[in-house]
Amino acid sequence: MFGSLGFTELILILFIVLIIFGAGKLPQLGEGLGKAIKGFKKSVHEADAIEAEAQAAQQQAAAPQAIQSTPTQAAPVAEQPSAQPVPHA
């Protein structure tokens, strides 16, 4: 994660943050950062679960449609005799 940053650079950054925010705010900053990371991970996992659930629902919906869309052979319709006019006497 910190491939280009060495130990000395991290200590220097921590020292600057300590000067800017003070020792009293550091625990609150750490807690806020931890909650933010935890919330982000939770939302990513929930999004993956929702996406997987949606894909499963699409697959289930696609299966019945595929069965219904196959053409079925209709039974031949028997032709009714044509009605001829009856002559009046």
SS3 70: coil
| Neighbouring residues of 21: CB distance < 8 A, sequence distance ≥ 6 | 29
- Domain residues of the chain, as ranges? 9-66
pLDDT tens column, 41-84? 998 888 888 888 888 888 888 776 655 555 555 555 555 655 66
User: Does the reported pTM lie above 0.85?
Assistant: no
User: At residue 30, what is the residue type?
Assistant: G
29: nearest Cα among 45, 13, 5, 41: 13
What is the pLDDT of the chain when averaged over all its residues? 78
**The tokens of 60 are what?**
């289930």
For residue 13, pLDDT beyond 60:
yes
